[in-house]
């Protein structure tokens, strides 16, 4: 079984500041890990994914995440926040070879202030 914990349901940063959204996972098998973003009135869009290749994963819009097995973490970062990054972010896990079901965290609402 898998589970995901996202620390902080709301995160606020200043424009230009570092964005750090935390995700910890639990999985009985090697996981695949995903970050999705949802802008208002839109569907979820994939930012990046970890599928057991490089542990540092780069995604769209300068986001990246690092898979740390020892810490069971997959935190999302972006060096410099932009107003357009304001959205809800979801971390998700699926099991390798165990079907495609995604298990999501509760989401983190990112607010970017001037």
Partner 1 sequence: EAGVTQFPSHSVIEKGQTVTLRCDPISGHDNLYWYRRVMGKEIKFLLHFVKESKQDESGMPNNRFLAERTGGTYSTLKVQPAELEDSGVYFCASSLIGTSGRNEQFFGPGTRLTVL
As measured in angstroms, the least distance from the Cβ of 15 to partner 1 is: 27
Which range of residues in 12-20, 57-65, 74-82, 100-108 is near partner 1 by CB under 8 A?
100-108
Cα(59)–Cα(107) distance, integer angstroms: 18
Do residues 4 and 24 touch, judged by C-beta distance below 8 A? yes
Which range of residues in 16-24, 61-69, 75-83, 96-104 is near partner 1 by CB under 8 A?
96-104
Q: Of the candidates 25, 35, 36, 67, which one interacts with partner 1 according to CB under 8 A? A: 36
Task: Give the position of tokens 């495609």.
Answer: 100
Task: Give the position of tokens 């970062």.
Answer: 77
Q: Establish if 100 lies at the interface with partner 1 (CB under 8 A).
A: yes
Q: Is 41 left (phi over 0), alpha (psi -120 to 50) or beta?
A: left
By CB under 8 A, the residues from 38 to 57 that bind partner 1 are 41-46, 49, 51
């Amino acid at each position: 079984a898998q589970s995901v914990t996202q620390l902080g349901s709301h995160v606020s940063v200043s424009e230009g500041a570092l964005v750090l959204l935390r995700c910890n996972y639990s999985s009985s098998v090697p996981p695949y890990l995903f970050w999705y973003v949802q802008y208002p009135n839109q569907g979820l869009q994939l930012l990046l994914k970890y599928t057991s290749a490089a542990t540092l994963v780069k995604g769209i819009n300068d986001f990246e995440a690092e898979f740390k097995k020892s810490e069971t973490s997959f935190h999302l970062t972006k060096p410099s926040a932009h107003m357009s990054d304001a959205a809800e972010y979801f971390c998700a896990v699926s099991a390798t070879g165990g079907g495609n079901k995604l298990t999501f965290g509760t989401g983190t609402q990112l607010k970017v202030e001037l």
